[in-house]
């Protein structure tokens, strides 16, 4: 039996939002371009399970092409206070020429993303793309699978085509100031990820409590 809604629960209505980005951390994906120079692709369509992080990356971008070709990337998680530097990269692409649909939205080719954003490269241990010093969490990762959405064919350079890229995280680097000293745990009171929420940058809020599986 379906009960009538409690009067205290707000009523819902059907909407057609232009995007479905309810709120995920901003990751800066570093990859190597064909000529060996580094690229940075801001993204937020990422989720983690066990040692895998799955990335949704448009095939019109340079980052997806680089990651699939080179088989490796670094997933750098941005802190909330980095949002203005992230936004400096928002209308850039490592792709040259810029796909027409991106050019029409004001994107331009930027071959030097670190310099453009004012970010600092750090060498990685196990993969060739650099880490980003300003990001407190950096995951060195290898690409273990890449799929077209729904199993359909990729349309490289097309506006709505994207790749579902499964990465295996090989090494995690964490700034000392977001870890609990002497442990492998993140201090969630100090790790403040930058969230991308319906195309706004949002700082995450207070620690409300922990799940039964949390050990600290
Ligand atoms: C905060 C933010 C989140 C983004 N999230 C994604 C995403 O999840 N997937 C994606 O393909 N592009 C995403 N983009 C757009 C890419 O950053 C953009 O297409 C960029 O041109 C990619 O750079 P590249 O072509 O050098 O790889 C996002 C951009 C911003 C600023």
Which atom of ligand 1 is the closest one to the Cα of 63? 27
In the 8-state DSSP scheme, what is residue 67? Answer: H
What digits encode the pLDDT tens for the residues 158-204?
777 899 999 999 999 999 999 999 999 999 999 999 999 999 999 98
Atom 9 of ligand 1 has which residue's CA nearest to it? 57
Would you say residue 7 has pLDDT above 80? Answer: no
Which atom of ligand 1 is the closest one to the Cα of 113? 26
CA 26 – ligand 1 centroid, Å: 10
CA 42 – ligand 1 centroid, Å: 5
Q: Is 193 in the pocket of ligand 1 (CB under 6 A)?
A: no
pLDDT at position 146 is: 96
pLDDT band at 154 (very low <50, low <70, confident <90, very high): confident
Q: Is 145 in the pocket of ligand 1 (CB under 6 A)?
A: no
Of 127 and 213, the structure prediction assigns the larger pLDDT to 127
Q: pTM, whole model, 2 decimals?
A: 0.95
For the chain, the domain total comes to: 1
Would you say residue 86 has pLDDT above 70? Answer: yes
What digits encode the pLDDT tens for the residues 55-81?
999 999 999 999 999 999 999 999 999
Decide if 193 is inside a domain.
Answer: yes
Decide if 174 is inside a domain.
Answer: yes
- Which domain range does residue 31 map to? 26-203
Decide if 89 is inside a domain.
Answer: yes
Count CB-CB contacts under 10 A for residue 88.
16
Question: Mean pLDDT across the chain, nearest whole number?
Answer: 94
Decide if 75 is inside a domain.
Answer: yes
CA 160 – ligand 1 centroid, Å: 12
Decide if 81 is inside a domain.
Answer: yes
Decide if 20 is inside a domain.
Answer: no
Decide if 12 is inside a domain.
Answer: no
Count CB-CB contacts under 10 A for residue 131.
24
Decide if 14 is inside a domain.
Answer: no
CATH code of the domain containing 32: 2.30.110.10
- What span, in angstroms and rounded, lies between the C-alpha atoms of 86 and 195? 12
- 75 Cβ neighbours under 8 A, 6+ residues apart: 27, 29, 46, 53, 55, 138, 139, 141, 167, 169
Percent of the chain beyond pLDDT 70?
98
- What span, in angstroms and rounded, lies between the C-alpha atoms of 120 and 149? 33
Atom 21 of ligand 1 has which residue's CA nearest to it? 93
Q: Is 196 in the pocket of ligand 1 (CB under 6 A)?
A: yes
pLDDT at position 3 is: 67
């Amino acid at each position: 039996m379906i009960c009538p809604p409690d009067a205290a629960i707000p009523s819902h209505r059907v909407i057609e939002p232009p995007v479905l980005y309810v709120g995920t951390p901003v990751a800066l994906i570093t990859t190597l371009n064909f000529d060996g120079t580094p690229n940075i692709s801001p993204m937020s369509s990422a989720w983690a399970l066990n040692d895998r992080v799955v990335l949704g990356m448009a095939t019109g971008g340079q980052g997806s092409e680089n990651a699939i070709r080179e088989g490796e990337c670094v997933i750098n998680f941005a802190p909330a206070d980095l949002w203005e530097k992230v936004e400096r990269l928002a209308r850039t692409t490592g792709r040259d020429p810029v796909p027409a649909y991106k050019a029409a939205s004001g994107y331009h080719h930027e071959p030097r993303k670190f310099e453009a954003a004012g970010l600092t490269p750090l060498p990685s241990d196990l993969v060739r793309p650099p880490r980003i010093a300003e990001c407190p969490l950096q995951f060195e990762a290898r690409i273990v699978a890449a799929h077209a959405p729904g199993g359909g064919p990729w349309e490289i350079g097309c506006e709505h085509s994207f790749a579902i890229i499964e990465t295996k995280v090989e090494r995690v680097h964490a700034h000392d100031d977001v870890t609990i000293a002497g442990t492998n745990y993140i201090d969630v009171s100090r790790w403040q990820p930058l969230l991308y929420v319906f195309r706004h940058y949002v700082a995450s809020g207070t620690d409300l409590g922990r799940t039964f599986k949390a050990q600290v």
